[in-house]
Amino acid sequence: MATLLEKVSTLVSANLHALVDKALQSNSMAVIDQYIRDVDNNLDALEDAAATVGGQVKTLQRKRDEFKKQMDELDRNIDIFLTQGKEDLARAAQTKFNSTKGLFETYAAQLERQESEYKALLDARLKLQAKLTTIRQQREEMAALLDLAKAKEITARTIRSLDDLAGVGDADVARMAEGIRTRLDQASARSEIAAQNLDQQMDDVLGRGELDAQLEERKRRLGRQ
């Protein structure tokens, strides 16, 4: 049982930020998925262990209560025997009372230990479930962000290719840093730069067209004169 709780403690104390960073660096959800599988497996083991220990707790409670009831009855009988002058019966009842008391205390001590272990198992289960809920939520967000990052990178590469065909130089893009949000920012910046380059080309074309129209107008006026 101690080994199980140690494993659970390791999972509960796991640094989710470090797991997320590792997943982002590798551009893969494998490390997150493995952690989720480990948590699921240990949750199953915790539930089995808690059911076993919980059953033992109920058994010990029943045994303790039975011996407590016997002790109370023997205690009353001893007083009755003494008041009736039946010391031999009182002595025998006292002997049985002492033996029953020993059993009661043994079961009570075992019950205390098992209740403590049962509580520890239930607490560990709650903490592990909370950890699992958190990492699953983060996994969904990370998967969506990774997909978005890949899509934006593809878009940025496509626009750069169009720029190359148009004779426009590539933008000076900084090296991709760690983390999915940095990658997203860079991809967005690339798209914006490329879009600005295309806008500038359009402005240049429109600007030349306006100048040509102005010159043609001057030619017509000069011809009329």
Tens of pLDDT, residue by residue over 18-34, are 777 777 777 777 888 88
Q: Which of 195, 197, 208 is nearest to 155 (CA)?
A: 195
pLDDT for residue 72 is more than 90: yes
- Global confidence as pTM: 0.58
DSSP character string of 114-160: HHHHHHHHHHHHHHHHHHHHHHHHHHHHHHHHHHHHHHHHHHHHHHH
Q: Which of 17, 45, 10 is nearest to 31 (CA)?
A: 17
Domain boundaries, the chain: 2-224
Summarize pLDDT for 118-174 with one digit per residue, the tens: 998 998 888 888 888 888 877 777 777 777 766 666 666 655 554 454 444 343 333
